[in-house]
Structure 1
Amino acid sequence: MSVVTTYRRPGLVARDHVFRVPLRHGDPESPEIEVFGREVVAPGKEDDRLPWLVYFQGGPGGKAERPLSTSAWLGRALRDHRVLLLDQRGTGRSTPANRTTLAGMGPREQAEHLGLLRADSIVRDAEVLRERLIGEEPWSVLGQSFGGFCALTYLSTAPHGLRQVLITGGIPTLTGHADDVYRAAYPRVLAKNDAYYARYPGDVDLARRVVDHLAEHDVRMPTGERLTPERFQTLGIQFGQGARFDALHYLLEEAFVPGPRGPELSDTFLRGVDAVVSFAERPLYAVLHESIYCQGGASRWSAHRVRGEFDRFDLSRGGRVEFTGEMIYPWMFEQDPALVPLREAADLLAHRRDWPALYDLDRLARNDVPVAAAVYHDDMYVDRDQALESAGRVRGARTWVTNEYEHDGVKASPAVLDRLLAMNRGDA
């Protein structure tokens, strides 16, 4: 089944597609779910025979961009492509997976369902959509962050469906354990903390004041849930995005207001913090985060375990607050109302050992699909050395290492996508 709705807005023409696909591909008894994709084309090119470009959003658990403009990568793509913005299964307008939709299942059934939302299933969904939209014709893939992980899974499982692959800040380790990922990640996060405090030295004392205040008081965000010191500490997740690096400073500068019993944390501050630390809009990001690295083994809450090797993150030491980055901890499933109902399922996923492989190293070594990747030299989320090692395993893959952009570089400038396209054409 395909449901299509067409509309126009300045700068683009969109067709919304809804497809039904099996929850478990390859199982004739599987129930079906819906997968949503928004086809976007430049005005006046609606009937042109343009090559398709599928955008795999970062995440995991992130819905596709909702285009408010055609700037940066999308504007560049629409010059010569028909773009499909894909809501990966479980997200956005695809059949959602969250505390509400999974409430009728027990923890084991929830875990089984959630385990079917990784890159391998996302790629098989994409192949169904490709065949229904354009038949046997291959299309191009642009993978941002986790979308790049999906692109390498695509190369491993269905390379016949690909014209070319473009990756930005999203080449994973192909063989490493989640422990290797976080053991490399924590030092990068500390380096971002150093850069942040070098820019805003006054925030050293201010961040400590906030942590001490939260430790001494039961502070509630506007939603009613408690803001704890450890939740506040996770605001460093923004440090790896050029567009968001300074956001914490602007929150902190309005943190305190006078109250009847002394300084209190302002509603402005608390609302801003809630927008970052709550997983209400993206629960799958937390639930699936470590599973995206799992192949045949369990993560066992890797980020939580490995953190013990880096005592600078220990808030009880006093002194400078070191903010954490893209890490998920088991206590989040006790403190965040959006995650609490999924706590047991998340623990089952963390201890699952029979994850299927996501990458076929032999097939990648024989690859003949053009691949170009931007590797951001100072990327906080994806380790540069692991990315380059993995790229070296993909036959013919070309990498562009740059420190001009942060992890969100493809959204910051059309030059990023332009360069990748040129690399695959042999013009750069």
Structure 2
Amino acid sequence: MTHDRICRQPGVVLTDHHFTVPLDHARPDGEQVELYAREVVATGKDPETLPWLLYLEGGPGFGARRFIGRQAWLERALTEYRVLLLDQRGTGRSGPLNRQTLPLRGTPAEQAAHLAHFRADSIVRDCEAIRPGLTAGAPWTVLGQSFGGFCVTHYLSTAPEGLAAALITGGLPSLDATADEVYEAAYTRIERKNRAHYARYPMDVERARRIVAALVERPVELPGGYRLTPEAFQSLGLLLGTGDGSHQLHHLLEDAFVPTLDGPALSDAFLEAVHGHLSFAGHPLYALIHEAIYAQDPAAPTGWAAERVRAAHPLFDAARTLAGDEPLLFSGETIHLWHFTVDPALAPLRETAELLAARTGWEPLYDPVRLAANEVPVAALVYHDDMYVDTAHSLRTARAIRGLRTWVTDEFEHDGLRAGGPRVLDRLLALVRDEL
């Protein structure tokens, strides 16, 4: 472990940390990978007197959030912790994996084999590898957002001795659901979110139909070469899972067309904004291993589960919608093979993605027996109708983890940790301390 470059932002002192860990923790003497994390301490506090709080970002495939000063939940955390913002392996500054770097691994088959080491099991073993050098062996508190909560659940299953407390926001996974079962539940929730959006903004029904009709006639190439097809346009529904996402989607749709010499056309401003929402250039790992985070049966590949399940939900078929008078349904947190055709950030990795979808040999991620005997204080924020993580799955898991306390609310969508600021973390800490 090394640390360097202490710098300051308003109200905080930042320290960079660099670590070397095995790519495959089962082979500690084999290939090594580099990890990066940023330590955040409140100005004026002595870090050596503070316990550690490790933050695991959602995803998969996103580096830790780059806060400025004491934004969001950091305000509360910094009153009593030194915080470690870890870029999980393959993200941020921890050896980012993308169309530029993955070819260094060799063939698509070699790339897929490499990516098999980037699920929650490897991330948790990374955490345990770096913890002793930071905490002198003491357990730490871990906060997991969304996929970060999946990692925390694996942590509780495999290395609870490393945890002083576990805090989860929108990230209690099913312990045993297949990828197909996860997406079957998801499409029902996504449809509800669509209905709620159109109830709030009924004028968007015609706007969305008009846009998708234009794309059926002729897909549009966005800046950077992204091909905006009807299915790609529908994936803007990812916005509907956040607190302000419905409003963002509405503002996108209302400014879609401008008059031109050839008649109405999708505007450059609209296309630029859409590109920002749809491109995977900043987080390609999310697309590559998204279905693999649900793979737990060694004999069963995920096999593009989201696409397979979507075929059983014809209401999401854009052509069918245009042939009738139903509102267009946007899709949600689903990855499809066509993503690797329309997005230049993913297209070179299509064969790698297909090999991952066909892969078998995935190991179970959770240990129900050990979770049933859990002794780590755990609190989980569960959103009443979370579009990204099924509420029923989360509550079933909550009942399976001994001593876990839940906070179930419809005050927030999936981004409650960000939107709720210090109050969310304060309540979770109170729950694990039996102060509520």
Could you tell me the TM-score, scaled by structure 1's length? 0.98
Q: Does residue 425 of structure 1 match 2:433? A: yes
After TM superposition, the structure 1 stretch with the greater mean CA deviation from structure 2, 269-278 or 65-74, is 65-74
Summarize the alignment of residues 26-425 of structure 1 with structure 2, pairs less than 5 Å apart. Answer: 26-104=26-104, 105-295=106-296, 296=298, 297-317=300-320, 318=322, 319=325, 320-413=327-420, 414-425=422-433
Deviation at 1:289, TM superposition (A): 0.5
Q: Write out the 4+ residue segments of structure 1 that deviate beyond 3 Å after TM superposition.
A: none
Q: Is the 8 A contact 2:22 2:30 kept in 1?
A: yes
Contact 1:17–1:38, Cα closer than 8 Å, also in 2: yes
Secondary structure of the corresponding residue to residue 396 of structure 1 = coil
Number of aligned residue pairs: 428
Whole-angstrom CA distance in 2 between matches of 1:256 and 1:123 = 47
**Distance (whole Å) between structure 2 residues aligned to residue 34 and residue 90 of structure 1:** 9
Cα distance, 1:48 vs. partner? 4.7
Contact 1:13–1:46 under 8 Å retained in 2: no
Query: Are positions 1:5 and 2:13 aligned together?
Result: no
Gaps of 5+ in 2: none
The residue type paired with residue 242 of structure 1 is G
Offset of residue 125 of structure 1: 0.7
- The one-letter code matched in structure 2 to 1:316 is A
Q: CA RMSD in A?
A: 1.1
Q: Distance in 1 between matches of 2:85 and 2:393?
A: 28
Alpha-carbon distance in 2 for matches of 1:98, 1:72:
29
Separation of aligned partners in 1, 2:428 and 2:214: 47
Per-residue displacement from partner, 1:142-178 (whole Å, max 9, x unpaired)? 0000000000111111111100000000000001101
Return the alpha-carbon distance in structure 1 between the equivalents of residues 241 and 36 of structure 2: 29
Query: Match of 1:301, as an amino acid?
Result: W
Q: Indicate conservation of the 8 Å contact 2:41/2:47, yes or no.
A: no
SS at match of 2:285: helix
Asked whether the 8 Å contact 1:58–1:145 carries over to 2, the reply is yes
Alpha-carbon deviation of 1:102?
1.0
Given that residues 226 and 275 in structure 2 are in contact (C-alpha distance below 8 angstroms), is that contact kept between their aligned partners in structure 1?
no
Deviation, structure 1 residue 30 = 1.7
- Identity within the alignment, %: 56
**Which whole-Å deviations, capped at 9, do the CAs of 1:81-132 have from their partners, x for residues lacking one?**
1110010000000011111111131011000111101000000111111111
Report Cα offsets for 1:19-51 as digits up to 9, x if no partner.
111111131442111111100011111445111
Any conservation in 2 of the 1:11–1:43 contact (CA below 8 Å)? Answer: yes
CA contact (8 A) 1:373 1:400 kept: yes
3-state DSSP class of the match of 1:375? strand
Q: CA deviation at 1:282?
A: 0.4
CA contact under 8 A between 2:225 and 2:344: conserved in structure 1?
A: no
My pick for the range that moved more, 221-230 or 180-189, is 221-230
Q: What is the rounded CA distance, in whole Å, between the counterparts of 1:245 and 1:57 in structure 2?
A: 23
Q: Which runs of 5+ in 1 are unaligned?
A: none
Quick one: distance in 2 between partners of 1:47 and 1:117?
31
Distance in 2 (alpha carbons) for counterparts of 1:67 and 1:10:
11
TM-score relative to the length of structure 2: 0.96
Aligned-partner residue type, residue 426 of structure 1: D
The answer as to whether partners of 1:171 and 1:382 remain within 8 angstroms in 2 is yes
Give 1:336's aligned amino acid: D
Q: How far apart in 1 are the matches of 2:220 and 2:156?
A: 48
Secondary structure, counterpart of 2:224 in structure 1: coil
Secondary structure, in 3 states, of the residue corresponding to 1:16? strand
CA distance in 1, matches of 2:199, 2:97: 41
Q: 1:3 to 1:51 in 2, by over 3 A?
A: closer
